[in-house]
Chain A
Amino acid sequence: MARNYPFSAIVGQEDMKLAILIAALDSSVGGVLVMGDRGTGKSTAVRALAALLPEMNSVQDCVYACDPNAASGTCPVCDAMRVKLKIGGKLKAVKKPVPVVDMPLGATEDRVIGSLDIEKALSSGEKAYEPGLLAKAHRGFLYIDEVNLLEDHLVDLLIDVAASGVNVVEREGLSIRHPAKFVLVGSGNPEEGELRPQLLDRFGLAVEVKTPQDPKSRVEIIKRRDEFERNQEKFMAIWEKEDEVIRQQIQAGKKKLSSVKVDDAMLEKVTQLCSHLGTDGLRGELTLLRATRAYAALCGKSHVTIEHLRKIAVPALQHRLRRNPLDDSSSAVRVRRALEELFPETSK
């Protein structure tokens, strides 16, 4: 099996890497959309993410890998097990890797939401539910490459499940509800079609990637690629240490997250920025808040500062701006300009 290129070995693309780390640290930020030039390592970075995630506690024997501390009533499998437990008994927990599920192009609806096990239906006439990709991605990541080429009916379905965190399947008189809370990660090339605003809005952060132009990084990129292809074992061993540092950082950040403070003045600034930019709805504010908090946690800080806000505002807001016919600059530039106007950098 070919292994994934290590995350730490990706040259440059700091914005993209940061957005992915933030999404990994706090799933409530709501996923990442990476749009940009061809061949800039979009897919590579997302697939490398799997190796960085600390393992999670999950219920043994539950196909959905539920959190043992999850409330009852969310997962049919866990509930069934709970019934068998003695009072005060606990579900058996094991460590499982956080899933990063690839949704390939051409996936059919039944495989995405799950359907009846066709083999069992044929051989014994039995109706057994076979979980789909959404079930597999529960508590993890669902990665859609070429997200702008995704067929509309699948997009609708994803939006629905991503919003509710619950997947409902009705088939052959069988009705199944199971938890499907996942972080949506999408990538694509904007030249091949735009994303519907509804789907755009589902992504917490959006980053734009460009092909690096400076010759040094270009040499470095093809050099590392070549080394990776020639001797994967050796290459992985070299970068494992770096990956481990990032892994520790995520883990420490996750622990820190709940204790990161956002004071009222900062909240005020978040609101101010969003209303200045005229982002629709509360989602922008909420995401911005959560993402800055996660970023502070990632940096090991216990307070959100204006610097965090400055760094995160662009990825958190740029895909939520309306087109302004009077202003032809890109959304990122508009966000940056708003930041400067509202919170001018104090000369140090």
Chain B
Amino acid sequence: METQEQTQEISKSAKLETWLRALQVAQLLVINPHGLGGVILRARSGPVRDRWLAYLNTVAQLGGMRLPLRKMPLGISDEDLIGGIDLDQTLRTGKAILRQGLLAQCDQQLLIIPMAERVEVGAAAKVVSALDNGFIAIERDGQSKRIDSRFSVVALDEGIEDDEQPNEKIRQRTAFLLNLDIIGWRDLPETDDDFLPDAESLQYASEHFSNVSISEDSLSALVGVAEQLGIASIRALNLALNTAKCLAAFDREDEVSSIHLQRAIALVLSPRATRMPQSAPPEEEEIPPESEQDEQNESEQDPLDQEPPPPPPEIPPPDPTKDQNQNEDDREDEEQESDAQNPQALEDEILEAAQAAIPADLLARLADLADLKTPKGMGGKTGAIKVGRVRGRPLGNMPGMPEGGKTLSIIDTLRAAVPWQAVRRAEIKAAGKLIPAGKILIRKEDFRIKRYQERTQTLTMFIVDASGSSAMHRLAEAKGAVELLLAECYVRRDQVAVMSFRGSVAELVLAPTRSLVKAKRALSGLPGGGGTPLSRAIDESFEIASTSMRKGLTPALVFLTDGRANIAKDGSPGRPKAMEDAQQSARAASHYSFKSLWIDTSPQARDEGKAIAALLGSMYLPLPNAGANEVSQAIMQGLKKA
């Protein structure tokens, strides 16, 4: 191994590798849009991304794709996305004319999705269903049609935080996950022209990839590597296989060779790794993230034989480009040898390459993950792997009367009424009545109401221990903290709820609300004293939180207690039984995987509270001597992190 130097930054050559890999992804998408699903490109808007898109455009043109590539605007309506009736044409011609939606227009093309991390779940589901089916099924506005459309998506992910990610459904179906944020403008080569494929090869590949075959051994190796990397999804396997076939077709081969498979796995599987190939957690805490891709281009070491696992800087970059340098040739020689070996050797070798290709940032996260003992815990960076629970609905309209606070959608109502004017006029005429000139006849069934925008509001729910043991210590501070937080929540227009538990009951003293005044009133009257029915408090608060989730809110729970339960679920006193019940409840509640924060208000941090917080998957914060301000600060910080 030549360099052991741990550069703080990713080396220039590693950046170049990443860039070349990105270019190859562009080529592959043009070769087989439908079979590869697309790419998620994590990169902020800027020259690097623009240059990649320009390259994509050029390759698309070379590959004979229709241009320009279409973009899907954020918040696109169902009608524009899937299609619907073309009212103008329909009225003019007297025939029902279907207007194709964006998805139908993208056949054999690439659909660019800007700000993919913000696409709401309804729109994502529709894109995904088209990706899966290869057609758009339209059942709208009296139209029933199926339009073939085989495309792939280029999802531009501008997320900064780890939890800002494109919908998991889309991630599952795009072959490639690229991160261009690590590359700066100056890291790019002068021009990408040298890396442009020739049109003939592209077209040959897109015609022939489907005929490429793969041996059973290679398939086994593929499955084995996926398992080592902790990838459960079968889809990822299919995508890797399709990628390998495209790579082989591009090299005009009719069987997937091990080098193709290797590169396909580096492109598709490595960025999805959920663990390092060895079961032991990697131990490279001192190494800053994004530092592993270093200069060595070939590594003969077998990571499987090393213990502990190799620190990231030793991991060689993959060989992602079609332009194989001489290293590639070296490798090819090995390939040939290893092909003659048993499938296990093949798997090992591919695994090595796959491991090498795990992106820097992901590697750091994997290390974090290995540290986390509880998968549901909310400390650290677990947000990175948490699936977005965001439930939104596409904006639109639905039939109904504008009553009960619903808003009438005038345009949609008029649109709904227009086609029936002839029928209605005829009816009025038949009834011998006068037709009012220049008026549109609107009936009850035309009314369309706006569907309210279901923004994911947070419901912060405080579960305050008002029992004797706690009241003595800190009830007053807790109240103050809650009020401070309420003010903060109020600014963000989030909802709050307060539950208090004491004696033998847990009581919702403040139902979910946005009213600060109401909240203050409820809190000021909060009495203290009595037993600690913790188990009930947990049960009931999670019950309310889950109801609120069904209403479209994202609940977060904040417990303020010393965790010393002494009233059992059935209301009987006695600490052992009460603690047991509380733990039981916590275990059950953890299934919801809501965000929660456990603030231990006892003078000394206690194990009881900590244990229950761990069972709940809560973030645990002992705050023995802090005042209201500190508590509220802690909560703000804690919930943000969570």
Contacts and interface: CB of A to CB of B under 8 A. Distances in A.
B122 A105 contact: yes
A193 B391 contact: yes
Interface string A1-21: 010000000000000000000
B179 to A, nearest CB: 22
Interface residues on A, range: 35 or more
B584 interface: yes
Contacts of A127: 423
A233 interface: no
B76 to A, nearest CB: 11
B96 A119 contact: yes
A67 B367 CA distance: 63
B235 A107 contact: no
Interface in B343-360: none
A226 B214 contact: yes
Given A108-B140, A153-B398, A145 B129 contact: yes
Interface residues of B, number: 77
A170 B224 CA distance: 58
A222 B423 contact: no
A122 B92 CA distance: 10
A39 B168 CA distance: 12
Nearest to A136: B144
Contact of B122 (A149, A170, A226): A149
A112 B219 CA distance: 43
Contact of B220 (A38, A151, A219, A323): A219
B229 interface: no
Interface string A197-225: 00000000000000111010011011101
Chain B interface SS verdict (over half): helix
A208 to B, nearest CB: 14
A24 to B, nearest CB: 22
B134 to A, nearest CB: 6
Contacts of A196: 550
Contacts of A222: 219, 222-223, 234, 237-238, 241
A323 B398 CA distance: 33
A39 B234 contact: yes
A130 interface: yes
B234 A173 contact: no
Residue picked from A108, A125, A170, A171, most chain B C-beta under 10 Å? A108
Contacts of A325: 539, 569, 584-585, 588
A211 B125 contact: no
A225 to B, nearest CB: 6
A43 B132 contact: yes
Interface in B50-93: 78, 81-82, 84-85, 90-91
B210 interface: yes
23 contacts: A37-B233, A39-B234, A104-B129, A107-B140, A111-B143, A122-B91, A122-B96, A122-B422, A125-B425, A132-B139, A146-B125, A149-B122, A171-B445, A172-B427, A191-B168, A191-B387, A191-B389, A211-B233, A212-B234, A219-B216, A226-B241, A325-B569, A328-B590
8 closest A-B pairs by beta carbon, nearest first, are A104-B137, A111-B139, A39-B235, A107-B139, A119-B96, A125-B422, A123-B94, A328-B588
